[in-house]
Amino acid sequence: MIVLESYAQMRAYVDAQKEKSSKIAFVPTMGALHEGHLSLIDVAKRHADITVCSIFVNPTQFNDSKDLEKYPRTLERDGELLKNRGCDVLFAPSVEEMYPAGDTEWSIDLGKLDKIWEGEHRPGHFQGVTQIVYKLFRLVRPDVAVFGQKDYQQVMVIKKMVELKNLSVEIITVPTERELGGLARSSRNSRLSAEGRVEASVIFKALNDIKFGLHHRALGELKDQAMTYISNHQGFEVEYLAICDADTLEEKEAYEEGGKYVAIIAVWYEGVRLIDNLVFN
């Protein structure tokens, strides 16, 4: 596996690959890699000749400076994991490489996606995400880019950006990898205590209770029940929970046969913000 740190090196590498008509798959990450990220690498490898993974903790998508400071950084270990998984290139630039002129102006009209759920609770987050992903797409020029369903709204945002900017990259979504108890794998899980990591499986349980209660109860009732279930566990604070149309993220009042739904949730526990979702028909 090749490790590249500068913009210029990455550009030269991509130019050489394009010359050979190699198909490039790209997996952007913020590092502290786990099995969820590595499952994206597996999928990427099946779709292209060359798989590029980036590791960059992007400051512009953090609306909370403490969160940015505490974000786990394990570059050496990440490199080993990627190499063992058959990744071809690791791109690990510095902040100065990605933002040589400081945090430049960026604004994209994401419409409602920027104002609801994650957009509402993390103001500016999706502007920062699109800013960096656009920069990386322009540099890596991937044929396909692979993202996790774990960040459901993020995938919608990326697809919207690709459409607005007329980019010719195919976006592939990969199902969420979970720990044994059901907690969605996340780099932030390393900040939970060992017991907390087990306890936090209540989030996935609550989402499943919604899924399996769908035919028996009104959506409002299911949501209230799930909120109560989680809040009854000490230390958990639900930031939002909603049962939405899976294509628009509009909250639904009633279940309609044949509809596609997604239950989305953000929870605070042991000072860590955890998000998850479950899609069901």
Interface with ligand AMP, residue 30, by CB under 6 A: yes
Phi, psi of 210 (to 5 degrees): -65, -50
| Shortest CB 194 distance to ligand AMP, Å | 19
Of residues 116 and 133, the one with the C-beta less far from ligand AMP? 133
| Shortest CB 18 distance to ligand AMP, Å | 24
d(CA 156, CA 141): 20
Of residues 17 and 176, the one with the C-beta less far from ligand AMP? 176
- Binding residue for ligand AMP, selected from 62, 126, 137, 147, defined by CB under 6 A: 147
- Residue 216 known to be catalytic: no
Mask: binding to ligand AMP, 182-211, rule CB under 6 A, as x and -? --xxxx------------------------
Interface with ligand AMP, residue 37, by CB under 6 A: yes
- Contact range with ligand AMP by CB under 6 A, out of 108-116, 161-169, 178-186, 256-264: 178-186
Q: Which of 37, 125, 216, 233 is catalytic?
A: 37
- Binding residue for ligand AMP, selected from 10, 177, 236, 249, defined by CB under 6 A: 177
d(CA 138, CA 162): 11
Residues 237-276 that bind ligand AMP (CB under 6 A): none
| Shortest CB 106 distance to ligand AMP, Å | 18
| Shortest CB 254 distance to ligand AMP, Å | 30
Residue 24, token pair as written in the block? 């490039």
Interface with ligand AMP, residue 125, by CB under 6 A: no
Interface with ligand AMP, residue 176, by CB under 6 A: yes
Catalytic residue numbers, as ranges: 37
Residues lying near ligand AMP in the complex (CB under 6 A) are found at 29-30, 36-37, 39-40, 147-148, 150-151, 174, 176-177, 184-187
